């Protein structure tokens, strides 16, 4: 058989005058011996054209090449690796078209694995057989997964919501020119995604349409506002391709947004570093810290915190209220403190610190996973949790401006029960009336009138 390289991944293979497309799997021959090649061949690849029509691309044989296995299928001219195409709105639209086609045939993939996709002429896409793609992913080194899998796949989502994340990553790259969570891999990247540590897009890309920026943000982080559907992506891409989503801004406004992005990015980095330090070595001292927390009623914040600008600078009272409850939901007492004046909300902050520290102690001694967030636990169908582990967070939040400067917050709080005999997590209804005053730099919550139950 005559082999002629096309690119790093594919070869032109001629056998008795017949051409085939060879796809280098990078799976070592010794590992491939354990693969079910019959099953892999039966899970055929797909060719998806610009109109969404799908036809089969069946594997025909496997051959060894330089110690790794190559999969051979029908010849296709001018295919290119996924990374060879410019990241732009047209490429996103083509991927969305392919996602709909994959969904129609129940292709088992919950996000983009770039090794499984190749661009074809005229906005077509070749998708590798699912079992082959899965086998490649399972045997790939971390370095390859950090390039072809992790940047595109949300750690917790499936189905359309998983694909919405992949589309959001591609859109962010198209507009900003970089990965939205650049510089992180593995657990650090997953933490950044789950915590929503992402600067505002309108600051990173000055002039971007606010509705487009909001959709992309919702696709990348779980903000509680709903993950964009494929139909929402379709509507955005039509407008993007037909009208554009970038507006011209004066240089002064661009500079203001760049400064805003830089400040928010630094604040996110500082807080992530602090949390990572605690996870890495702080749990060793958690028992001591917990004892202090029980005796003193609070966990001391770093002195440097006093010198930082609050995250609420420039926010309206409604935005400050939303930030307070998002921080409560995220066990982020520092961000909660930025929202309030004096000792307002200290009971909430103490509860958050106690739950955070107590769970870290149990993680260190019992090997527990992360504290389950209630929104994710409910979305997963209320799976069984380890003994003594309760989901934390708030759901069904509704903020209403009362017209006299106050804001009413209604929500369910999910927390460890006071009743030791409780066996099921329950959301406790709460209603808070928040009053505000304008401080030197920002609006602050100056009182919380709370009623529980009902």
The per-residue pLDDT for range 391-410, each reduced to its tens digit, is: 888 999 999 999 899 999 99
Helix (H) or strand (E) holding 412: strand 407-414
pLDDT (0 to 100) of residue 168: 96
pLDDT (0 to 100) of residue 265: 58
Q: How far from 318 is each of 336, 394, 395, 406, CA to CA, in Å?
A: 14, 17, 18, 9
pLDDT (0 to 100) of residue 409: 95
- Residue 98 pLDDT > 80: yes
User: Comparing 222 with 9, which gets the higher pLDDT?
Assistant: 9
Q: Label residue 316 by pLDDT band (50, 70, 90).
A: very high
Mean pLDDT for 265-282 is 53
Mean pLDDT for 170-189 is 87
Q: How many CB atoms lie within 10 A of CB 122?
A: 8
User: Comparing 289 with 335, which gets the higher pLDDT?
Assistant: 335
Q: How far apart (Å, rounded) are the C-alpha atoms in residues 114 and 79?
A: 14
Helices (H), 23-88: 29-32, 37-42
Q: Vertex 426, ends 420 and 431: CA angle to 5°?
A: 115
Mean pLDDT for 276-289 is 48
Q: How far apart (Å, rounded) are the C-alpha atoms in residues 208 and 109?
A: 31
Q: How far from 142 is each of 43, 186, 232, 261, 435, CA to CA, in Å?
A: 25, 9, 33, 31, 51
Instruction: Tokens for 368, please give them.
Output: 């527990």
Residue 230 and residue 100 in contact, taking contact as beta carbons nearer than 8 Å: yes
pLDDT (0 to 100) of residue 450: 92
Q: pLDDT tens for residues 213-271?
A: 999 999 998 877 889 999 999 999 999 999 899 876 445 555 666 666 566 556 556 55
Q: How many CB atoms lie within 10 A of CB 292?
A: 14
- Domains of the chain are 1-141 (no CATH), 154-260 (1.10.510.10), 281-452 (3.10.450)
């Amino acid at each position: 058989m005559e082999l002629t390289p096309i690119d790093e991944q594919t070869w032109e293979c001629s056998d008795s005058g017949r051409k085939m497309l060879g796809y280098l799997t990078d799976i070592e021959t010794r590992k491939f011996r354990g693969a079910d090649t019959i099953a892999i061949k039966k899970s055929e690849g797909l060719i998806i054209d610009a109109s969404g029509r799908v036809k089969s691309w069946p594997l025909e044989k496997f051959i060894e090449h330089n110690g790794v296995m190559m999969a051979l299928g029908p010849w296709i001219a001018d295919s290119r690796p996924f990374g060879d195409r410019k990241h732009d709105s047209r490429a996103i639209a083509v991927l969305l078209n392919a996602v709909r086609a994959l969904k129609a045939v129940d292709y088992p993939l919950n996000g983009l694995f770039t090794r499984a996709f190749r661009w074809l002429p005229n906005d077509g896409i070749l998708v590798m057989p699912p079992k082959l793609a899965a086998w490649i992913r399972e045997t790939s080194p971390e370095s390859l997964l950090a390039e072809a899998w992790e940047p595109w796949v949300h750690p917790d989502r499936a189905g359309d919501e998983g694909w919405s994340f992949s589309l959001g990553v591609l859109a962010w790259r198209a507009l900003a020119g970089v990965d939205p969570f650049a510089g992180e891999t593995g657990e650090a990247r997953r933490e950044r995604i789950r915590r929503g540590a992402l600067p505002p897009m309108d600051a990173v890309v000055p002039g971007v349409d606010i509705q487009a920026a909001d959709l992309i943000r919702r696709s990348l982080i779980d903000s509680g506002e709903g993950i964009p559907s494929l139909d929402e992506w379709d509507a955005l891409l039509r407008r993007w391709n037909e009208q554009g989503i970038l507006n011209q801004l004066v240089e002064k406004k661009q500079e203001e947004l760049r400064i805003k992005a830089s400040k928010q990015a630094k604040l996110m980095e500082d807080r992530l570093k602090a949390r990572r330090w605690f996870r890495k070595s702080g749990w060793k001292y958690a028992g001591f810290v917990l004892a202090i927390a029980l005796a003193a009623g609070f966990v001391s914040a770093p002195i440097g915190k006093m010198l930082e600008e609050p995250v609420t600078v420039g926010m309206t009272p409604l935005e400050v209220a939303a930030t307070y409850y998002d921080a409560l939901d995220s066990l982020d007492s520092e961000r909660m403190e930025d929202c309030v004046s004096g000792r307002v909300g200290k009971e909430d902050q103490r509860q958050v610190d106690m739950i955070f520290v107590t769970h870290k102690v149990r993680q260190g001694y019992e090997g527990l996973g992360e504290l389950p967030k209630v929104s994710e636990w409910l979305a997963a169908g209320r799976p069984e949790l380890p003994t003594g582990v309760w989901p934390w967070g708030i759901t069904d939040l509704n903020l209403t401006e009362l017209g006299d400067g106050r804001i009413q917050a209604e929500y369910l709080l999910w927390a460890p029960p006071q009743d030791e005999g409780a066996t099921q997590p329950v959301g406790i209804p709460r209603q808070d009336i928040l009053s505000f005053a304008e401080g030197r730099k920002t609006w602050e919550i100056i009182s919380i009138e709370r009623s529980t139950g009902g």
